[in-house]
């Protein structure tokens, strides 16, 4: 089979729904350690691309390789998640009636029902991992609070933390700052930059202030393919991008 130094490699990918080409010759490469911002108008194919990467949707044509040589088009969603691809959907889905710490334990598949008994010590590595995640998402002091009591922004960070607890190689994040305050949006940019020191990240987002703050390479999708790619200044001054997306 083919090999690549990229962590994620899409080449010539096509997906159609009832003859409609949602993804139309999409090629995109993510290097290990990179963070990439994906922008583009509604219907551009951003969600479908994430669905292809996570195995929810199978391409009709094209190559999707992960971690050098693993062909994702042949694997189901569970297996792809196990390989180390974590996906954060737009809406927060945390266990509201559980504590923040228990949410992270659940993400680790720890049987939390025995936590707090004489017998539960947890594994040291798991406890350490949770402590680190709590630090990263800035919720250490809130660890015993119910997740339902968190702000919308904090719930988003907790869910990102739940993915981090699973130690993915690639984190896919869909519109994380939708509905956030300006302060939360700024803090989310800081959080993703922190996470990106260790993880490869792909983030779909419409908020251009946020994308600019990330300071990473930007890919603009349109009609299921790459319209423009480059720095935020390059992409946001691209005439075709202005026409189909920014100029509306
Ligand atoms: P984005 O996330 O960029 O808004 P999507 O990936 O959701 O774009 O959609 C791309 C195009 O594919 C849209 O025109 C959408 O209507 C269409 N589409 C997506 N999923 C389906 C589906 N399951 N069946 C039919 N059409 C779909």
The alpha carbon of 122 and the centre of ligand 1 are apart by a number of angstroms equal to 43
Among protein residues, the one with the nearest Cα to ligand 1's atom 14 is 43
Helix axes of 152-165 and 182-195: crossing angle, nearest 10 degrees: 10
At residue 126, the pLDDT reads 82
Domain definitions of the chain by residue range: 1-83+216-248
**Digit-coded pLDDT (tens) for 107-149:** 887 544 444 433 344 566 788 889 999 999 999 999 999 999 9
What residues does ligand 1 touch, defined as CB less than 6 Å away?
Answer: 17, 20, 22, 40, 42-48
The alpha carbon of 46 and the centre of ligand 1 are apart by a number of angstroms equal to 8
Among protein residues, the one with the nearest Cα to ligand 1's atom 7 is 47
Tokens read off for 39: 């922008």
- Considering the entire predicted model, what is its pTM? 0.92
**Digit-coded pLDDT (tens) for 187-217:** 999 999 999 999 999 999 999 999 999 999 9
Helix, coil or strand: residue 22:
strand
Among protein residues, the one with the nearest Cα to ligand 1's atom 12 is 22
**Digit-coded pLDDT (tens) for 28-54:** 999 999 999 999 999 999 999 999 999
The alpha carbon of 223 and the centre of ligand 1 are apart by a number of angstroms equal to 10
Superfamily of domain 1-83+216-248: P-loop containing nucleotide triphosphate hydrolases (3.40.50.300)
**Digit-coded pLDDT (tens) for 52-99:** 999 999 999 999 999 988 999 999 999 999 999 999 998 888 999 999
Q: Which of 45, 172, 244 to mutate to test the pocket of ligand 1 (most atoms within 8 A of CB)?
A: 45
Task: Using the predicted structure, report yes or no on whether residue 219 has a pLDDT greater than 90.
Answer: yes
The alpha carbon of 42 and the centre of ligand 1 are apart by a number of angstroms equal to 9
Beta bridge partners of 16: 21
Beta bridge partners of 98: none
The answer to whether residues 53 and 9 touch, using CB atoms and an 8 Å cutoff, is no
Within the chain, where are the H helices? 46-53, 77-83, 100-107, 124-136, 152-165, 182-195, 208-214, 232-236, 239-241
């Amino acid at each position: 089979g083919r090999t690549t130094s990229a962590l994620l490699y899409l080449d010539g990918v096509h997906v159609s729904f009832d003859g409609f080409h949602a993804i139309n010759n999409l090629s995109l490469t993510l290097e290990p350690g990179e963070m990439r911002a994906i922008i583009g108008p509604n219907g551009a194919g951003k969600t479908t691309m994430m669905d292809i990467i996570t195995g929810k949707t199978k391409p009709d044509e094209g190559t999707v390789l992960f971690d050098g040589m693993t062909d994702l088009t042949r694997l189901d969603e569970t297996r792809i998640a196990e390989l180390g691809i974590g996906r954060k959907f737009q809406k927060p889905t945390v266990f509201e009636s559980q504590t923040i710490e228990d949410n992270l334990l659940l993400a680790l598949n720890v049987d939390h029902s025995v936590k707090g008994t004489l017998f539960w010590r947890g594994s040291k590595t798991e406890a350490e991992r949770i402590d680190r995640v709590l630090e990263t998402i800035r919720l250490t002091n809130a660890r015993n609070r119910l997740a339902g009591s968190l702000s919308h922004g904090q719930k988003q960070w907790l869910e990102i933390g739940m993915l981090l607890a699973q130690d993915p190689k690639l984190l896919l994040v869909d519109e994380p700052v939708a509905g956030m305050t300006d302060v939360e949006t700024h803090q989310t940019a800081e959080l993703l930059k922190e996470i990106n020191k260790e993880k490869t990240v792909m983030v779909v987002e419409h908020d251009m202030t946020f994308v600019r703050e990330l300071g990473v390479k930007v890919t603009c999708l349109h009609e299921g393919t790459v319209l423009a790619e480059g720095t935020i200044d390059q992409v946001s001054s691209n005439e075709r991008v202005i026409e189909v997306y920014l100029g509306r």
